[in-house]
Each structure stands twice: as structure tokens, then as C-alpha cells.
Structure 1
Amino acid sequence: MTQENHPVLKGAEELYAKGNHVGCLVSHGFTGTTQSMRPLGEALIEAGYTVCMPRLKGHGTHYEDMEKTTYQDWQNSIQEGYEWLKERCDSIYMAGLSMGGTLTLDMAQQHADLKGIVLINAAIDIPAMAEIEEDVRFLDAIGSDIKKPGVEELAYEKTPVKSIGEINQLMKQVREKLKEVEVPTLILVSEEDHVVPPRNSQDIYEKIKSEDKKLVQLSNSYHVATLDHDQDLIIKETLNFIKDYS
């Protein structure tokens, strides 16, 4: 696996907490960090669950570290978290924001034993990323798409063009296998999102094979909804979802 050359940023640390025998695997998104998912992770801990929130390889340090990673590195970061939970829990749920949602769908395609998944502005097709010319090394940041004043996402100030190629491959792979997702699914989508087109969530809802699926509109948040005005609604819906299927 790719080596990182920079220290982990304060606030970007992994989160592991032992609770009951229900496990929750939580994933942040592309160029982001665990900071974006920490309020949800802490709410799950407070509810008594065993929580694992990995830092995706190449994230939460420096964008030059991210440039050296592949989407398989990000998949491996999640798989390691899943295995940690498997050793401690009887059942596992997964939640992810943005590319974290992509990775959540990927896990549901691989692990039929997942009890349920929660997708928050999940990404399967971002046309703006598909159109980028690879004649530059870094682009300006895509982070902190937040409606709530004074709230900042801890994310990279630059986006490696090579990494955009990696997320495009991951999204394509996941998009082509949506019919393999059969687990109960909660989809939360912002009505206004300047990073991932909201249509992504509708497409996921329509194409997955899950019999139990629910789509919830977030009317007062942008892309990083977990840090935005609808944070409490996301936490409430997620806790109710896990309680209903546990």
C-alpha cells in the first residue's frame, strides 16, 4: 500500500469505539476527512454502537499523498475497517458521504451480510469530473460546500487530477453494479449540491434491487450535509434506520 509522507492533520484522525454488538462503518468523502462525519460517528457511539470511522488512504495529510493513492487503496481502507468490526460485532451497517457513499455501495455489492446502508449525497456520476483535461497536476479545492455560515470542512485546498481519474474509475465500477445492491438502504440527498448532482441519489434509488429503500430530501444543506443545517435530521434518520433493522 502507498506510503504517506505527511503527518495526519488535527481533526482528521480515525475513530474507533467499542460499544454493543451492532457495528457501524462510517466513511468520509473524496479529498475530505473524518471531520465531516464525526458528528454522525459520535451520535452512533452515544447510541451504544461499535463504530469504526477510517481515514481513507492519502486523505487527511497532504494532497501530494492523495496523488499517490488509487481507488483500491481507498477500498482497502474501508475493508480493513469492516474486518475490525467483524471481529467484534454480530451485524454491521455502513454510512458514507459523497465518495464515502460510493464506497458504501461498493461494500454492499461485495458483502451481502451488511444489515443496511446509509448514503448521504452519494456519488456515482459527476459529469464535471469526467470532462477534466489532464494537462495540469492539481485543481482548486472542491471541499466546504456548506450552506451554514461559519462552518468549514477540513479538506484539501487542492485536488490531484490523477485522483479524479481514480474516483471516476470507482464510480463507473459501482454504477455498473447497482443491481447487485439488495440490502435495506436509506438515501439522504441535498436539494442543492454544487459537487455531486442530486440526480445521483435518484438514480441509485431507482436502480438498486433493495426491497426496503427510502429517499429523504435535505432542504437546507449543500453537499457536506453532515456539517450543515440538516445535520440533526441526518443523525435522526440514521439512528431510526439502524434501530428499525436491528
Structure 2
Amino acid sequence: MPVLPGAEPYHHDGGDIGVLLCHGFTGSPQSLRPWGEHLAGAGMTVSLPRLPGHGTTWQEMSRTRWEDWYAELDKAFADLRGRCAEAFVMGLSLGACMALRLAEVHGDAVSGVVVVNPSVINDVPLLHLAPALKYVVRSTPGVAGDIKKEGVSELGYPRTPVRAASTLPRLWRLVQSDIAKVTQPVLVFHSRNDHVVKPGSVAFLRARMGNNLEVRELADSYHVATLDNDAPVIFEGSLEFIRSHASVPLTKDL
């Protein structure tokens, strides 16, 4: 299946600090590419894989499930750890949820987590019906492209495959049940106005996590904040986070 132009994965070989970036549900690496390039410019090794079924067609994505997407990230993380002295994981939306899952599973192998508008609870009532709905409705309107900044667009699907979406509640429940295992430092960027993910996910993290959690509000962006007006805040904030928590020095500084 041909990959949409701009949706290709991104990799950069840099120094001893590695960063794995996880894009969101029905999105593509394009939504995080500027973030990855910023970190690469600071001398880090960056891995931004394309999740299975993403960046092609929503029909292809309907044949995948969360386990397929997570497996791709887990493989990329193992590769990154094999090349770097330490690794951080970062993500947007559902990619943020899977970044937290990586931290739950891999423990101290993950030095820190940065997430943007994380999706960790089911705040879409229709998804409760998805296991049955998938047999009668193939897709619903897409969720990509929630960006405030004029002239900027996200490369994502115009339709959401119901079969793929029906697997999300299992991932959310798993991440919720193991969230106490995340003892690494976690930085959350949260848009004040998000039309895709409701505030309940950040509220859950605040309630269940300890002093290792920091939340910073984004005042001028919608859901895809990595492409929006507050993108520089995220890029510089994540770089500052790495500087604060890495045990090895950056090879190159901005």
C-alpha cells in the first residue's frame, strides 16, 4: 500500500540520547515531524515510526488494532535502546497513551515521558457501542486536523475506521490499570481548547500520578498542538525536560 507523501517515518542518527516519538490515532508522522527535527537539531537520536495502517487509507487501517500499533513502537524503542545510552518517549493524543504504556512496561529503560493532549480514558460514549457497531458501520467522520493556526493542516484520515476504533477501550483500560508503574518524570502539555480529547484524561493523570507529573497549559492551540501556535513551547519545553533529566550530556546544543 503506497504511503501518502509526507506521512513517511522519520529517523535521525544523533548522540547518546534517544527520543521515540509516537503519533496519534488516524494521524501520521507528519504531525510530529517538526518536533522530531527540532530534537534532532539539538543532537539527539530521533525515531518517529509510522504506525501500521496509518498514512495510507482508512480502509487499510480498519484491518489493524492497537496491539499492531504498540508492537511497532515497542520494536522502535528496542532499536533505539540498542543504539543510545538512554531513551525518552514522547507522543501526541493516542500516541501519548502508548508512550505511557511503554513507560509502564519498560520501567527504568525509559528516562522520561513527554505527552501532548494525551488520550487515556474513553470520553466518546459511542465507542461503548463500537464492538457491535463495526458490523454495520465501517467508518465515522474523522478527528484529524483540529488546529487553530491558519494555513496549517494535519495529514490524517477524513474518516475514522470503526473496527480499529473499537479496540481502543482495551488499551485505555490497560494503561489506566498500570499507571502507578510510571515512576519516571512525566511532562504533560495540555491545550485549553481541545475539540478531540476532553479534559478527563489529564484529570485522570493528575488524580492517579504523584509528584513525578507536571502539567503545562497551552493557551493558543487546539488538539494537534505540535503543528499549532504553541508548537515552539512544546519543542523547547521537551528539550529543557531532557536536559533536566538525562544522565548523559547532549552531544550538541542549540
For the aligned pair, the TM-score class normalised by the smaller chain equals over 0.9
For 2:173, the equivalent position in structure 1 comes to 172
3-state DSSP class of the match of 2:101? helix
Instruction: Tell me if the contact between 1:126 and 1:196 (Cα under 8 Å) persists in the aligned partners.
Output: no
1:30 CA drift (Å) = 0.1
Deviation at 1:140, TM superposition (A): 1.1
Normalised TM-score (structure 2): 0.91
Q: Which runs of 5+ in 1 are unaligned?
A: 1-5
Show structure 1 runs of 4+ deviating over 3 A.
none
SS state at 1:194 partner:
coil
2:149 — aligned with what? 148
With structure 1 as the length reference, what TM-score do the two structures score?
A: 0.94
Q: Which residue of 1 aligns with 2:215?
A: 215
Shift of 1:131: 4.4
How far apart, in 1, do the equivalents of 2:17 and 2:41 lie? Answer: 13
Residues 124 and 171, structure 1, Cα contact 8 Å, conserved in 2? yes
Summarize the alignment of residues 132-147 of structure 1 with structure 2, pairs less than 5 Å apart: 132=129, 134=133, 135-147=136-148
The structure showing larger relative contact order (alpha-carbon pairs under 8 Å, at least 6 residues apart) is 2
Corresponding residue SS for 2:205: helix
Displacement of 1:205 = 2.8
**Structure 2 contact 123–200 (Cα < 8 Å) conserved:** no
- The answer as to 2:43 corresponding to 1:45 is no
What is the alpha-carbon distance in structure 2 between the residues aligned to residue 67 and residue 137 of structure 1? Answer: 8
Q: Name the CA distance, whole Å, in 2 between partners of 1:148 and 1:199.
A: 24
Aligned-pair identity in percent equals 37
Q: 1:152-180: per-residue Cα shift (whole Å, max 9, x none)?
A: 10001111101111122211211121111
Q: Does 1:69 align with 2:64?
A: yes
By how many angstroms is 1:240 displaced?
Answer: 0.2
The alignment of Structure 1 onto Structure 2 pairs a total of residues equal to 240
Aligned partner of 2:251 in structure 1 is none
Question: What SS does the aligned partner of 1:215 have?
Answer: strand
Secondary structure, aligned partner of 2:217: strand
* Residue matched to 2:249: none
Aligned amino acid, residue 28 of structure 1: H
Match of 1:187 in 2: 188
Q: Which moved more, 1:100-109 or 1:196-205?
A: 196-205
Would you say the 8 A contact 1:19–1:45 is kept in 2?
Answer: yes
| 1:33 alignment counterpart | 28
Given residue 110 of structure 2, which amino acid in structure 1 is its aligned partner? L
- Is 1:18 matched up with 2:36? no
CA distance in structure 2 between the aligned counterparts of 1:90 and 1:131, rounded to whole angstroms: 42
Q: Give me the CA root mean square deviation.
A: 1.2
**SS of 1:206's equivalent?**
helix
Looking at structure 2, the residues matched to 208 and 18 of structure 1 have their Cα atoms a distance apart, in angstroms, of 33
Paired amino acid for 1:118: V
Q: Which digits, 9 at most, give the CA deviation of each residue in 1:21-42, with x for residues without a partner?
A: 1000001000000010011100
Question: 2: distance between equivalents of 1:32 and 1:168?
Answer: 18
